[in-house]
Structure 1
Amino acid sequence: MAALNPFRVGMIGYGLSAKIFHIPYIQAIPSFKLQAICQRNPSNDDDAAKDHPDVTIHRTPEELIKDSEVDVVIIGTPPVTHLTLTKQALEAGKHVVVEKPFCPTAAECDELIKCAKDNDKVLTVFQNRRWDTDFLTLVELLRHESLGRIVEFETHFDRWSPHAPQGWKGDQNPGQGVVYDLGSHLIDQVVNLFGMPKKITGFIHRQRQPPTDLEDSCTVLLHYNGMLAIVKASVMSLQLKQLRFKVRGDSGGYKKYHLDPQEPQLKAGMKLDHPHFGREPEEDYGILTVVDKDKEIVERRYPSLDPVTYLGFYKSLASALLGQSPVPVEAKDARDVIYLIELARKSAQEGRTLDVE
Structure 2
Amino acid sequence: MALKMAIIGFGKSANRYHLPYLKQRKNIEVKYIYNHRRHPERETAYQNMGIKFTTDLDEVLKDDEVQLITVCTPADTHFDFAKQVLESGKNVLVEKPFCKTVAETKQLLDLAKEKHLIAMPYQNRRFDSDYLTLKKVLDRGYVGEPLEIESHMDKYRPDDQVHTGDKINGTFYGLGIHMLDQMLALFGKPESVAYDIRAIQNSKSTLDDYYQMDLHYGKLKVTVKTNPLVADPYPRFILHGTTGSYLKYDIDQQENDLKQGIMPDADDFGQDTPDKFGHVKYHNKNGDWIEKQIPTVQGDYGRIYDTLYDSIVNGKAKLVSDEETLLDIEILERGIQQPSPSVVKF
In the alignment, residue 192 of structure 1 is paired with which amino acid? A
Structure 1 counterpart of 2:337, from 341, 346, 353: 346
Structure 2 counterpart of 1:328, from 319, 328, 343: 319
Q: Indicate the percent of aligned positions where both proteins have the same amino acid.
A: 28
What is the 5 A alignment of 1:62-211? 62-163=58-159, 171-209=164-202, 211=204
Separation in 1, partners of 2:94, 2:112: 12
- Report the Cα offset of residue 49 of structure 1: 5.0
Change (3 A) 1:283 1:119: same
Task: State the partner residue of 1:270.
Answer: 262
Q: How does the TM-score come out when normalised to structure 2?
A: 0.93
2:258 alignment partner, SS class: helix
Task: State the partner residue of 2:6.
Answer: 10
Structure 2 counterpart of 1:214, from 180, 192, 207: 207
In the alignment, residue 318 of structure 1 is paired with which amino acid? Y
Separation in 1, partners of 2:174, 2:37: 24
Structure 1 counterpart of 2:227, from 210, 229, 234: 234
Structure 2 counterpart of 1:310, from 301, 319, 326: 301
Separation in 2, partners of 1:43, 1:192: 38
Q: Residues 74-112 of structure 1, C-alpha deviation per residue, up to 9 Å, x if partnerless?
A: 011122111111111111011110111110011110000
Change (3 A) 1:171 1:44: farther
* C-alpha RMSD of matched pairs (Å): 2.1
Change (3 A) 1:188 1:162: same
Change (3 A) 1:293 1:276: same
Is the 8 Å Cα contact of residues 112 and 119 (structure 2) preserved in structure 1? Answer: yes
Task: State the partner residue of 2:293.
Answer: 301
Structure 1 counterpart of 2:345, from 319, 331, 355: 355
Q: Does 1:48 align with 2:43?
A: yes
In the alignment, residue 328 of structure 2 is paired with which amino acid? V
Q: Residues 158-180 of structure 1, C-alpha deviation per residue, up to 9 Å, x if partnerless?
A: 111213799xxx65324221111
Task: State the partner residue of 1:28.
Answer: 24
Unaligned 5+ runs, structure 2: none
Q: Residues 192-240 of structure 1, C-alpha deviation per residue, up to 9 Å, x if partnerless?
A: 111110011110111224753321110011111111110101111112x
2:337 alignment partner, SS class: helix
Separation in 1, partners of 2:160, 2:262: 28
Separation in 2, partners of 1:209, 1:350: 16
Separation in 2, partners of 1:219, 1:200: 10
Unaligned 5+ runs, structure 1: none
Q: Residues 323-357 of structure 1, C-alpha deviation per residue, up to 9 Å, x if partnerless?
A: 2421222233122111011122235x16431111x
Q: Tell which deviates more after alignment, 35-44 or 291-300.
A: 291-300
2:175 alignment partner, SS class: helix
Change (3 A) 1:165 1:295: farther
Change (3 A) 1:252 1:103: same
Q: How does the TM-score come out when normalised to structure 1?
A: 0.90
Structure 1 counterpart of 2:218, from 222, 225, 239: 225
Q: Residues 47-92 of structure 1, C-alpha deviation per residue, up to 9 Å, x if partnerless?
A: 3356434322122544433344422110111221111111111110
Is the 8 Å Cα contact of residues 79 and 174 (structure 1) preserved in structure 2? Answer: no
Change (3 A) 1:85 1:174: farther
1:141 alignment partner, SS class: helix
Change (3 A) 1:237 1:177: same
